[in-house]
Chains A and B, each alone.
Chain A
Amino acid sequence: MKGFFKKHGNYVWVAAFALLTVLSFIVGFNPGKAVFTHFTRSFIEMIAFVPFLFIIVGLFDVWVPKERIQRHIGQESGIKGMALVVLLAMLQAGPLYGAFPVAYLLYRKGASIRNIFIYLGAFSSMKIPMIGVEIGYLGIAFSLARTLVSLPLFIGIGYLMEWYLKNRRFEVSDGGKGKEVTP
């Protein structure tokens, strides 16, 4: 039973919601109808842009292969190196803890401490799929303001970490997996 819920949990909720909505309309249960009205509105809001966002993300994925950018990381320094890690971060997806294995990879490839932390910062809040959803829900003004305020702060954090770790031993480890990642 528990396994069933784990596997089909997403369907269970949608099915229960559909069933309760139909029931609400049959017996004329007003709160149920009101919730459904909210749902329809947010569903239309979502379906009007999310599929298109994913097509854009899919095209980016094909045209700007992450592997090719990764190859150049560590070789470039200065502004170009920074731009490269930010670009690489923007092409990723998923939650922040997914960024640490890549940070390890960058470290092994010889990326600077500054760029590793800029990467983590950009990963946390500048991923293209995420910015897309953000624009869709909170508007382009919000997204633009947030991104433009965030970027200099991340670069600042990168410099601060570099300064802080200058005379300390610092290394990114592989997260205890012991798995060899070829740089």
Chain B
Amino acid sequence: MSNNAIIFITLCVVLSAVSFVLDRRKTAEGFKRGWKMFKNVLLPFLNILILVSLLLYFLPPSIISRYLGAGSGVAGFLAAALIGSITLIPAFISYPIAAGLIQQGASYAVVATFMTTLMMVGVVTLPLEIKYLGRRVAIVRNVLNFVAAVTIGLVIGLIL
């Protein structure tokens, strides 16, 4: 059992107990909502795990660390930032992939940059964003977020 599981189970038990003491009906409702959300993501999640398992089998650690590792330099970093900005991958899918990449030798800076650009910059969804914010503002927001995302990636690379 990993540390993470222990953190989540403890937090879950404590919060549930507090919630139960305060209000049983609300607690039951919360459990129901949580379970429903879990059911909704379970199958997509299984598919991602299958994909990650295949990926880890076909991409040996040596290749991953060469292109995405600490030694990959500016190229790996830039590639991560660009791919992260352009693609649209839900967090539930990207985290298992990111964890797999780190296990196989990718550097924190590269993975963090990929994750932050993925979250904060949306090239594919730009047309939609323009409808809400207007062309100029949407573009400025994405450019500022790109700069912020790359900064975050670099800082995390320095810290971790």
Contact = CB atoms under 8 A, between A and B. Distances in A.
* Interface magnitude class on chain A: 35 or more
B144 interface: yes
A103 B138 CA distance: 13
Contacts of A55: 12, 16, 30-31, 34-35
A58 interface: yes
Given A53-B8, A142-B160, A145-B159, A124 B132 contact: no
Given A31-B57, A175-B128, A50 B12 contact: no
A56 B34 contact: yes
A61 B30 contact: yes
Interface SS of chain A: helix, strand, loop or mixed? Answer: helix
A150 to B, nearest CB: 6
A46 to B, nearest CB: 6
Nearest to B19: A59
B148 A138 contact: no
Interface in A156-183: 156-157, 160-161, 164-165, 170-176
B52 A153 contact: no
Contact of A54 (B38, B122, B125): B38
Given A10-B43, A59-B15, A62-B33, A43 B49 contact: yes
Given A97-B122, A164-B140, 6 more contacts: A35-B53, A103-B133, A140-B4, A145-B155, A146-B152, A150-B148
14 contacts: A38-B57, A39-B53, A50-B38, A52-B5, A53-B8, A53-B12, A54-B35, A55-B34, A56-B12, A59-B16, A63-B26, A142-B112, A146-B116, A149-B152
Interface of A: 10-11, 13-14, 17, 31, 34-36, 38-39, 42-43, 45-46, 48-63, 93, 95-97, 100-101, 103-104, 117, 120-121, 124-125, 127, 129-130, 132-142, 145-146, 149-150, 153-154, 156-157, 160-161, 164-165, 170-176
